[in-house]
Amino acid sequence: MKMKARLYRLFSRNNFYFIVIACCLLIQVGISILHTNPQAVEYYYSRGFYPKFSYLSILLFSWLPFSFGDLLYGVLVLLFSSLLFRIAQALYRSEWNMLKRKTVQFLALLSLVYTFFYVNWGLNYYRIPLADQIGLDTESIHIDDYIQVVDKYVLIVNSLRDSLDLEQKDKRGVRRDLEQWMRADTLFHGILSQSQIHGKSPISSAIISYFTVSGYFNPFTLEVQVNQNIPLASYPFVNVHELAHQMGIGFEDECNFIAFRKLMYHKDLWYRYSAYYEAVQYLLYPLYGDKELYEKYRNKLSPKVRADLAYERAFWQQYSGWVDKISNLFYNQYLKHNNQPEGMERYSMMAKLVVAWEKQQGKAAVIRD
């Protein structure tokens, strides 16, 4: 009976929350030590633990025809909001016992969510950079290198667009097609987890458009969602970018680079066009400091490519407002907190990876000759 009484006291409601916080803190100490060692993260987490642990999400969520992660986000927002309201209410009424209890509950929930994020997927932000894994030199790139690659890619993207009747393309079947393409990957063998390669549509593409989100990956349920309303030109690229997250890639520029490399040789002209369409935009970005140079190369794009760019810009402008400004501010800080100090600028760093890869290919060709 005494043992039962001790256990009851130990696992009483208040003590339970303290135990949750203590356990989460212990796990977070281990995580903080691990993420300072990219080699350990790479081989023990990203290539060891994550591919196996992700089967749990496959069993729980992959069979659902809708995005469970969207519902989870809604529930978490309600829980946190409710607890904050009760804390403010207790503070206003000077109900100190209530204040203590709700604060402990809030901290326990926050600790649990934060810890699960890194255990479930978040440690992928601290693995060995992709450039190091495939031997790319991103440090010795100059503006002339960008210009050389832009010159080449502008010709390719113009040619692809002239051969493509984009307006007749249909998004149906694209997701499944690209999932199969990624399952058959040998290009990044060992780097990408093959445990789960499965995309979904969000519960509401219209709603996420107001957050100016073309696609997103839920690190809690490991679900990939792609906005079904986005323009056709970028649709294949966004699908592969998000699948790369699901396959264990954290950095945004690396997901962009993987999407480019996986689609650039695809037999479908639409997919290839999407790869070069996105790549050219990122390659033009470093030239923006010299407006004359930037306009010179932008004007080399064919009327059809420029029309696609104008259509995409108009598409997102109709959703521009305070919602997307707040969400972009939040996501920028989220990226900075997760080993990407550049924030949302990290997306554009894909240009460095593409140029470094082109230089690597050029050196290889010289050696072969």
User: For the segment 202-246, what is each residue's pLDDT rounded down to a tens digit?
Assistant: 999 999 999 999 999 999 999 999 999 999 999 999 999 999 999
Distances (CA, A) of 161 to 120, 181, 233, 309: 40, 22, 10, 12
Rounded to an integer, what distance in angstroms lies between the CA atom of residue 354 and that of residue 133?
15
Contacts of 336 (CB under 8 A, 6+ apart): 342, 343
CB distance 236 to 271 below 8 Å? yes
Task: Indicate whether 366 pLDDT > 60.
Answer: no
The pLDDT of residue 175 is 95
- Write down the mean pLDDT value for the chain: 92
Question: In the prediction, which pLDDT does 289 show?
Answer: 86
Strands 199-200, 223-226: pairing is parallel
Contacts 24+ apart (CB under 8 A), 207-216: 209/319, 210/319, 210/321, 210/323, 210/324, 211/323, 211/324, 211/327, 212/316, 212/319, 212/320, 212/324, 212/327, 212/328, 213/327, 214/238, 215/239, 215/241, 215/242, 216/242
Domain ranges, ordered by start, for the chain:
2-34+55-120, 133-368
Whether residue 5 is predicted with pLDDT greater than 60 in this model: the reply is no
170-179 average pLDDT score: 95
Mean pLDDT across 249-274: 97
Residue 367 has pLDDT above 60, yes or no: no
Does the structure show a pLDDT above 90 at 6?
Answer: no
Three-state DSSP state, 223: strand
pLDDT at residue 12 above 60?
Answer: no
pLDDT at 1: 52
pLDDT score for 11: 47
Residue 365 has pLDDT above 80, yes or no: no
For residue 15, the model assigns a pLDDT of 80
Q: What is the pLDDT of residue 315?
A: 97
Per-residue pLDDT at 7: 43
Q: What is the dihedral of CA 266, 271, 277, 278, to 10 degrees?
A: -90
Angstrom distances, CA of residue 124 to CA of 133, 180, 224, 275 = 14, 23, 16, 24
pLDDT band per the 50, 70, 90 thresholds, residue 10: very low
Average pLDDT of span 68-95: 94
pLDDT, mean of residues 331-338: 95
Q: Which of 245, 42, 257 is nearest to 136 (CA)?
A: 257
Is the pLDDT reported for residue 369 higher than 60?
no
Work out whether strand 215-218 and strand 223-226 pair parallel, antiparallel, or are unpaired.
antiparallel
- pLDDT grade for 318, boundaries at 50, 70 and 90: very high
The predicted pLDDT at position 63 comes to 87
The pLDDT of residue 16 is 86
Contact 274, 247 (CB under 8 A): no
Other CB atoms within 10 A of residue 303 CB: 10
Per-residue pLDDT tens over the stretch 95-152: 988 999 999 999 999 999 999 999 999 999 999 999 999 999 999 999 999 999 999 9
